[in-house]
Amino acid sequence: MKLSKFVPHPTITDAEIAESNQPAVPITFSFGSDGNQFQINGESYQSGTISQTLILGTAQVWKLASDSGSHPHHIHVNPFQVTRIINDDGSVVTDPQYQDMVGTWRDTIMVTENVSIEIRTRYERYIGEYVLHCHILGHEDQGMMQAVKVVLPDGKGGAHGGAHQH
């Protein structure tokens, strides 16, 4: 077996974000009004619904929060770089689980109540559909998930047509 050397992801700079000129993406995990609905941005997952359309070759800021409980945010395909973690009052988070996390690259991060997490991601190699979701299986299976689609800059780009997979 021939292995290749891992090449670290380059930092996503402020200039790259500005050049991409893409709006920040809010992601808020919540329970519905009856407590039995599992939602992202106030909506439970609907098969066939694309919640975010992203453009290949761009970079973007995402802002993660939770209105109810703790949820491990997980996104398929594109890793993200953690850039900021603060309490709702704007102070630096002292929770040890977040220690030394700013600047690191991840595909999953715990989002707790009263904490705001800012991440950056870039869309480089893949066009098509994939999902982001709470990585607690019971939450995901009951709707705490979104489908996203990466398209070419001209707005075209097909989905792979595959089913949701972990």
Give the model confidence (pLDDT) of 73-131 as tens digits.
Answer: 999 999 999 999 999 999 989 999 999 999 999 999 999 999 999 999 999 989 999 99
Rounded alpha-carbon distances, angstroms, from residue 20 to 34, 88, 128, 129: 39, 28, 19, 20
Instruction: Please report how many Cα atoms fall inside a 13 Å half-sphere around the Cα of residue 53, on the Cβ side.
Output: 11
pLDDT at 162 (0 to 100): 39
3-state SS assignment for residue 162: coil
Alpha-carbon span 11 to 105, nearest angstrom: 9
For 2-26, how does the pLDDT look when each residue is reduced to its tens digit (9 = 90+)?
898 888 899 999 999 999 999 999 9
**Residue 38 in contact with residue 139, Cβ under 8 Å?**
yes
Q: Which domains does the chain have, with CATH numbers?
A: 14-151 (2.60.40.420)
Report DSSP letters for 72-115, one per residue: EEEESS--EEEEEEEETTSPBP--GGGTT-TT-EESEEEE-TTE
41-83: pLDDT as tens digits: 999 999 999 999 999 999 999 999 999 999 999 999 999 999 9
- Which residues, other chains included, contact 4 with Cβ-Cβ below 8 Å and sequence gap of 6+? none
